[in-house]
Every structure is written in C-alpha cells, then in structure tokens.
Chain A
Amino acid sequence: MTGIVEEQVTIPDGRDGLAGLLAYPSEGRPRGGLVVAGPHPFLGGQLENNVVQALARSGAESGWLTLRFAYHSPGGDLAGQMDRFWATGHAPLDGELLHDLRAAVTCAGAIEPVTCLASYSFGCWLVSRLAAEDGFNGAAVLVTPTVGHHDFSTMRQWNGPKLVVGSENDFATPAELLAGEVATWRQPVTLRMFERAEHFFRGREGELASVVTRWLADLPLRVRCSGEDGG
C-alpha cells in the first residue's frame, strides 16, 4: 500500500522563507508537482485551512507531489494593513503575495516540474495572475474563485485545463456570478457546483477532495507529464 509522506520545508522567498508542507507518495515517481495557493492570510490562509488541506490531500493521494504554504507575515504596519482590509477587502500586501506563490512554485519545481496549481478563494486570483503572467503550461484547480472581489479576466485567454468548483451559498462568490464569469473563460473549463455548500466547505471537505481527485485522475497524460516531455 502506498502511503503519503509529509515533510515540512522552508521555501526560499528572498526574505525569511515561507513555511511549507510537502506531501508525496511514499513510493514511485510523482505524477507531477502541484502547488496549493490558500485564501487570503487575513481570512484563514494558513497551512491548516480545511480546504487547503483537502486540496493538498487530493493531490498527494492522486500521486502528485504537493506543496502548500503559508503566506509571509505582513510585518511593518500591520494595523494599517488590517484597517485597509477591513474597509475595502484588499490589503496593500495583496500584490506581494503573488511573489510567495512564485517562490512556492519554484521550490516545488526544483523537485518535480509543477504541472498543476490548485487554489482556493483569494488564492485563485493569484493563480490566475501567475498562469497568465508567467505563461504557466499546466492545469489549474480553482475552488470558489473570488470573482466578485478580484479581476479574473486573464482566464479568458489562458488555455490550460481548469476545474472550477463553486458553492451554492457563497458570500464571496455568488453561484450565478461565478457561472457567468466562467462562461467567458477559455476552454477547457469544467465547472462543478456544490449544492447547499458555503464558501468554506465545512463538512464537505471529503466530497471536495473526491471531486478534485477524480478531475486530476482524468487529466490528459500530456499535462500530467508536461515536465518530463517538455510540455
């Protein structure tokens, strides 16, 4: 029986490093690298976040090397950051968090070519930006992307396979808004909507993991192995 190995790592980010957790099958070569971008650090974006854990588990149990990470601490004027975030839902550090995701992708990529980015909530916005700006040649899982709060127009051009998971009762991503937005995205896109679920998937983590696992298993081999054959 293949188990999952978990390993704490420090991700070089040009500062003090980011806390990360690698998970991978105990045997055999991983199918590829998968990095998980969590929600905003002010809204539960920690390694222990239930959805982040579910995504990481799905990846590792499907045979991927997965890396989840904690965004860097705001430091400096924390009260100022929080004040702005309270008022607007955005904080001055938001743009910098893309740097954290890039660092995690680089870190995981040094072990196994990263061929999938999984994300939740605010993390989806970071993934959409990285995919477009860095020309990411892989697949993306976006769980309740914050389409009401952030600009996802880059997904209209980005051509990688996308799994979008929405929830029916979502304060941050109303189901109709999400469906309308996703309809404008470039194919291939798979949209799965969870009935009677809310943004946080509390108690539905198993189902979420199951949906993601199935989608990952069905990914075309060329995507899973793009690191090996040069994409």
Chain B
Amino acid sequence: MKYVSASDHGILLTGATGFIGSEVLQRLLDAGHSPVVLVRGESGEHAAERLSRALEAVRPGDFGRVSRCHVLAADLRQQLLGLSKTEVEKLAETVDTVISVAACTSFDSRPDGEPWATNVEGLGRLTDFALQAGAAVHHFSTAFVCGDRPGCWPESPAEPGEHHNAYEASKWAGEQLLRDAASRGLTSLTVYRPSITISDRAGQALPGEHGISVLVNSLRTAARLVGRRQGGGHGQQVDLRQLRVDAGPQNPVHLAPVGWVSDVFLHIFSDPSLHERTYHLALSEPPTVDQLRQALESCLNIDLGPYTDEDLWNGESCSGILETRFYRLAHSLRHYFRQSMSFSTENLDEALSGSPLAGLRFREEWWPTIFESTATRPERVTGKRKTQNRDPGIECRDYFERWLPDRAPRSELTRLTSLTVDVGFWIRGAGRWTLRFRSGQLEDVERTASAARVRTGFRTGLDTFQDVVSGKLAPQQAFLTGRAEIVGDVEAGLKFAMILQQFVREFPWTPGGTDTEKRSEAGR
C-alpha cells in the first residue's frame, strides 16, 4: 500500500465522535496526520462542532485541532455516504487509507434498521468507496464476533458460534463483507477487534448503552431503591445480599482501556509490515468476575448476594422484585458473564514485541475511574422510557386477562374453526401466560409461574410486546428482526403471529391507555 504522509489528507476516518473514534483521531493528530473525517451533521459547521466537542472530551483545552481535520458532513447510512458525487470523486483521488471506526452499538435490532444500517450497509458503502479509491482499510470490529464459540477465539476469520445479539451479528457480517471485498481487490485489510473498551482517565464518559454502564447503573438503581427502604444515609453500605450473582466467579471480564486500544492501533497502523492481519485488542490477563464484584461492592458501597448457577438473566427464576428488576435491566449482558471465553493474542503479541504497550495488565486502581465514567451522563443512568416506570406485570396482565378475553369473542378469530392450540407468551420481567384456543374460541387464559406445555410460544420484552399489540410492529417482523423469539413449533408460531396481527388490526391496544379505552367503551 501507499503509506500516508503525515501532512496530507490521505486518511479518511469514520466514527470520530464516538468513544473509540475520538481517541483514535487524537492519536492520529498527535502523530501529525491531517485526516478527512466523516461526521454526521446537518451541515459542515454542525459536523465540525460535534467533532470539536468529542475531541474536547478526550483532551480538554487543546483547541484548534479540528482545523487540522478536513471535516465533511456525511452519513454512512445514505447513498454515496451522504456526500455529493463530486465530493466522492474528489475524495477517491486523494484518499488511500480508510479507517473505519463508526458503529452502532445497539444490542437489539431496531425499527430504524440499526445496528445493521451502520455496521453492515453503511460499511458496505464505505467499502465500495475504498475499492473505488484503491484505499487500504483499517477496520474496528469487536472481539465478540466469536458469539458463543467455545475455546480460544483465533485472530483469523474462523467460523463463529451463534451470536448473542444483533450487534455481534452485524459486526461479524461487516467483517465478512470486508473480507469478501479483500478477495475482490481491496488494497489491504487490517482488522482490529477490541474487547470491552473502558475508560482509563477521569472525566471520560462511557456511552449509556455500554455494557459496563448498564451493569453499574442497574446496580446503582437497585442500591438506591433498597437504600431508601433501609433508611441509610448517603455513603452507607447498602445490603443487596438478596441479589444473587448469576455468573462464574472466575470467568474473565474482558476489559481493555480505550487509551491503550488507541495506542495499539496507532502502533500497528504506523508500521505497514503489521498490516493485513486481524488483531484482538484484549488484555492477556483480564480481571475476573469476582474481582469486578469486589470492586463494585467497594466502590458502590453495596453487599451482593451469593453466586448461583440458576439462570436468573431471563428474569424467570428470580426470587424477588429486586432480582427481577436487576436482571431485566441488565438482561443484554447475560452471555458476557455466564460464559468463559478467551481471545488469542498471538498476532498482537508479535506486533507489540519490544513495545512498552506489550503485556499490559489490568490495574485495580482503574476500577473507580471505570465506574465513575458510567455516571457522567445522569440522563442515561435514570432516563428510562415511560413504560419502564410502570409495573410491566400489571400492563401485561390487563392485556391478557381483560382486554383479550373481552374482545376475542367479537373478533374474526371466532371464524378460524380449525384454530385449536395452546400458545404461550413469556414477557420478560412481566410474567407468562398461556392462551387456549379451541375451534377459534379463546377458552382460557392462564397466568403461570413456570413454563407450561404449549405447542408454540413467544418470548419477548415488554417494549416489543407493547409495539406488537398496539399495531406498531407486525408480530412476524418482531421475530424476523430478533425482537421476539418463537419457542416450540416455529411454523405454528409464525402462523399464529399472522392471526395475532389480524386481531391487532381489529383491536389495537394503547399501552397505558386502558382507562381511555374503558371510557370510550362506556360512552358508546
């Protein structure tokens, strides 16, 4: 590849306003590069302002850095990256290195198409550009593209296990897309797979959806609730021993400081002989779950309960409201604590041989900084959707035990004379219900404490359930986008989803608006 001189605009960077991207950009600027930076924004000025704020968070007070970047308002999710044809053509003439950091970190598939829209489709457009420009690509993926693959995950494009969420799956699809492009003439491809990046400097803010933020803030919420009940003052130890810890104490927690990740990136990026490989940017000796637990107890002033092997993360075996609430809030993290995974760092070790970056060990003194970084955006800590402030059990109970039985006899369902089936609904954190249809008649609705024998069933979260029964989301689409799972007979589940959709068309439900519904009925 052509190596980029430090003074030109030969480097194009995406994701520079993000947690890792802003650190990467700072390193590039420190190394004397003047990259082209694609930033989402309504205008060039707006994009530059956003970038300026991101850099300010990395190193406060160092003004004027943005002027060394060529900032373009762009959007990977749009055709031509949201740029004009002329801009793209001009860029293709000068850019010879693309650094792809932009990503959507949502664990769930969202109605707006994320995380696929950015991590796959957007990356696809960026790849097309790299092919057109003849540019080398340095791509940030994630070590967790391994999914639930057992054993040590190699630094190579080996087949992963089943992915746990849309983020992992989309990042893997993105990698595949790039590797395919590499076989079709991409100048070169270097893949960086960081593990869980965390803050290592005071004042840095982790995104609210970051796994560590979710964990710490869920515990803070639990501590606040219980602390208020226990009547303790500020700073007093809160007894959370009723909250059992469903994780292997010796399982690794693959944390990697974002500063180190960015330094390692620059080290590899600056040496072309290290390109065209895949690197796990992970510590060789990460902390364990037990170390994390002790640090949490110490820093948050809490006492947690005993370790358990019971599967609490799905909220079904939880013994009380506190556990249910915690595991519901932190549900997306279950696989990262229940699973012992390891990442090979052979390529990394070779690349860092002789460098002071080699062999970094986790330091206990980082814990307070890590936890502090999750609290710098209070609106993220407590800013929940309105629906989460209500008792989900009551909402769902009302739907299954009043709304549905009231309306089913008046619906087209009654004409489905062959509809004889037991269908289960598991709404996370709210409960389980079994609906019994006989010849199109809803004969019975039963709330069950444990899994009932049903031919087919649906497992989903409260938000998705509400979107479905209010008609905002087709039930089959909820399944196809990973927002709901079908348990048991998949074909029957899909067919029932069709029937449910028809019922919802007839009788859409308004979440939280049951009283309005009652009033309007009374007025008829």
Q: Residues on A close to B: CB < 8 A?
A: 1-5, 26, 42-44, 46, 48-50, 57, 61, 78-80, 82-87, 89, 171-172, 195-196, 198-200, 202-207, 210, 213-214
Q: Which 9 A-B pairs have the closest CB atoms?
A: A206-B173, A203-B169, A79-B415, A87-B418, A3-B79, A44-B476, A79-B412, A83-B416, A1-B132
Q: How far is the CA of A208 from the CA of B412 in the complex (A)?
A: 38
Q: How far is the CA of A214 from the CA of B362 in the complex (A)?
A: 44
Flag if A83 contacts B120 (CB, 8 Å).
Answer: no
Is the C-beta of B381 less than 8 angstroms from some C-beta in chain A?
no
**List of A residues within 8 angstroms of B480 by Cβ:** 44, 49-50, 200, 202
Sample of 19 further A-B pairs with CB below 8 A, known A1-B128, A4-B79, A44-B476: A1-B88, A1-B89, A1-B132, A2-B128, A3-B125, A44-B480, A57-B121, A61-B124, A78-B412, A79-B412, A83-B415, A86-B416, A195-B159, A198-B490, A202-B482, A203-B169, A204-B169, A206-B120, A206-B173
Flag if B498 contacts A1 (CB, 8 Å).
Answer: no
Is the C-beta of B230 less than 8 angstroms from some C-beta in chain A?
no
**List of B residues within 8 angstroms of A214 by Cβ:** 180
B461 to chain A, nearest CB (A): 16
Q: List 16 A-B contacts (CB under 8 A).
A: A1-B132, A3-B79, A43-B494, A43-B495, A44-B477, A79-B415, A82-B416, A84-B418, A89-B491, A200-B479, A203-B166, A203-B172, A204-B169, A206-B172, A206-B177, A214-B180
Given the known inter-chain contacts A44-B480, A79-B415, please indicate yes or no for A85 contacting B79, CB distance below 8 A. no
**List of B residues within 8 angstroms of A89 by Cβ:** 491
**List of B residues within 8 angstroms of A206 by Cβ:** 120, 170, 172-174, 176-177
Which of B129, B176, B415, B482 is the one whose CB lies under 8 Å from A207? B176
B118 to chain A, nearest CB (A): 13
**List of B residues within 8 angstroms of A43 by Cβ:** 476, 494-495, 498
B126 to chain A, nearest CB (A): 10
Flag if A42 contacts B495 (CB, 8 Å).
Answer: yes
Q: Residues on B close to A: CB < 8 A?
A: 79-80, 88-89, 92, 116, 120-121, 124-125, 128-129, 132, 159, 162-163, 166, 169-170, 172-174, 176-177, 180, 412, 415-419, 440, 474, 476-477, 479-482, 490-491, 494-495, 498-499, 502
Flag if A82 contacts B499 (CB, 8 Å).
Answer: yes
Q: How far is the CA of A172 from the CA of B132 in the complex (A)?
A: 41
**List of A residues within 8 angstroms of B88 by Cβ:** 1
Q: How far is the CA of A123 from the CA of B419 in the complex (A)?
A: 25
Given the known inter-chain contacts A171-B490, A210-B180, please indicate yes or no for A1 contacting B80, CB distance below 8 A. yes
Q: How far is the CA of A213 from the CA of B415 in the complex (A)?
A: 45
Q: How far is the CA of A5 from the CA of B220 in the complex (A)?
A: 48
Q: Which of B162, B477, B494 has the most CB of A within 10 A?
A: B494
Q: How far is the CA of A3 from the CA of B169 in the complex (A)?
A: 25
B70 to chain A, nearest CB (A): 18
Which of A1, A4, A61, A207 is the one whose CB lies under 8 Å from B92? A1
**List of A residues within 8 angstroms of B481 by Cβ:** 50, 202
A3 to chain B, nearest CB (A): 4
Given the known inter-chain contacts A61-B124, A171-B490, A195-B159, please indicate yes or no for A82 contacting B502, CB distance below 8 A. yes
Flag if B416 contacts A203 (CB, 8 Å).
Answer: no
Which of A5, A42, A83, A198 is the one whose CB lies under 8 Å from B79? A5
A50 to chain B, nearest CB (A): 5
Q: Which of A50, A171, A172, A203 has the most CB of B within 10 A?
A: A203
Given the known inter-chain contacts A1-B128, A44-B477, please indicate yes or no for A82 contacting B498, CB distance below 8 A. yes
Q: How far is the CA of A86 from the CA of B169 in the complex (A)?
A: 32
**List of A residues within 8 angstroms of B132 by Cβ:** 1
Q: Name the residue of chain A whose CB is nearest to the CB of B413.
A: A79
Q: How far is the CA of A202 from the CA of B484 in the complex (A)?
A: 12
Flag if B180 contacts A203 (CB, 8 Å).
Answer: no
Q: Which of A44, A50, A210 has the most CB of B within 10 A?
A: A44
Q: How far is the CA of A42 from the CA of B474 in the complex (A)?
A: 11
**List of B residues within 8 angstroms of A78 by Cβ:** 412, 502
Flag if A210 contacts B416 (CB, 8 Å).
Answer: no
Flag if A203 contacts B491 (CB, 8 Å).
Answer: no
Q: How far is the CA of A20 from the CA of B20 in the complex (A)?
A: 40
**List of B residues within 8 angstroms of A61 by Cβ:** 124, 128
**List of A residues within 8 angstroms of B80 by Cβ:** 1, 3, 26
**List of A residues within 8 angstroms of B174 by Cβ:** 206
Given the known inter-chain contacts A44-B480, A82-B499, please indicate yes or no for A172 contacting B173, CB distance below 8 A. no
B3 to chain A, nearest CB (A): 23
